[in-house]
Amino acid sequence: MTNDIDALTSPTLMYVRERWWNDDFTEFLAETLRPRPGNRILDVGCGEGLAEVRIGRLQVSQLRLFGVDLMIERVMVARRETAAHNLRVGLATADACALPFRDGAFDSTFCVAVLQHIGDVDRAVREFARVTAPGGRVLAVEPDNAARYLYASAPAGHRAFEMSSRFLTALVRARGDVVSALVGPTLPTRFTKHGIEPLQVRVFPVSRTYVGAPPDEVWKRRRGDIERAIAAAPAAPVREIGREYLEALEAYAAEARDAGPGFVEIQNTMLFATVGQKTA
């Protein structure tokens, strides 16, 4: 999987999943969840309904899709998006750690880049197991945020990457959000603890490479993303770190332009897709 990520503007993959979710990933999702006519499938952390639209395109008859998200704004967008594609999807605002469904309500339950933002991952996995019927599939796709990698041939790129990590981490903490560095590789063990038999772990490399100086619109997008983040930062010390980061980013852009065709930037991270089956 080679798609558009940017460690210089986002602390985790969750915020850019629309950029790396492609047809191959949809095919993997379908193969894993094995949707059949009449199945009930739950998407925990549905966001703006991307998975529902993608799965809906498979046109499985009488498939019943449900999605929950903690943020009502995303649920409202998901309703509009799924309705625009003539899909009937059950959508609601709910906490992954307290799902409002009866035991064994779903044939499959899945989440993508959600558990990394939950303080009590085991409690969420326990809920996934509870609402999934015996023999049903559970899928969780999560990154290892501690293993994000960036190489830049321009020396200023390493300073920019260091400052991006510092600023984005400070921003997340100031907002009171939770970002766990290591989630993906731990999921098979967590599944076993809560009555889900691990069947498979598939690793998806998510990467982006620039050979030659990136075009001006790349730098413009990066600056714009960080400027918006600075403006929305809830604390003055975080905004100051953001301004330092912008200076480092400008220096990096200048060095990249000077290097021209000799410039290289490589970004890479990993998604761990753990597939399990609810035991009897």
Structurally, the chain folds into a number of domains equal to: 2
Range of the domain at 197: 13-144+178-204+271-278
Q: Is residue 6 in a domain?
A: no
Sign of CA dihedral 16, 184, 211, 168: positive
pTM of the predicted structure, to 2 decimals = 0.83
Do 167 and 196 sit in the same domain of this protein? no
pLDDT at 108 over 60: yes
Q: Is residue 7 in a domain?
A: no
Percentage with pLDDT > 70 across the chain: 92
Do 212 and 131 sit in the same domain of this protein? no
The CATH number of residue 37's host domain is: 3.40.50.150
Cβ–Cβ under 8 Å, residues 142 and 272: yes
* Per-residue confidence (pLDDT) for residue 88, from 0 to 100: 86
pLDDT at 15 over 60: no
Backbone angles phi, psi at 146, to 5 degrees: -80, -10
Between 199 and 60, name the one with better pLDDT: 199
Do 51 and 188 sit in the same domain of this protein? yes
Do 22 and 52 sit in the same domain of this protein? yes
Do 54 and 94 sit in the same domain of this protein? yes
pLDDT at 172 over 90: no
Q: Which residues contact 177 (CB under 8 A, 6 or more apart)?
A: 117
Do 78 and 168 sit in the same domain of this protein? no
Between 274 and 22, name the one with better pLDDT: 274
* Three-state secondary-structure class, residue 2: strand
pLDDT at 1 over 60: no
Do 165 and 125 sit in the same domain of this protein? no
Q: DSSP label at 113?
A: S
Q: What's the mean pLDDT when you consider all of the chain?
A: 89
pLDDT at 207 over 60: yes
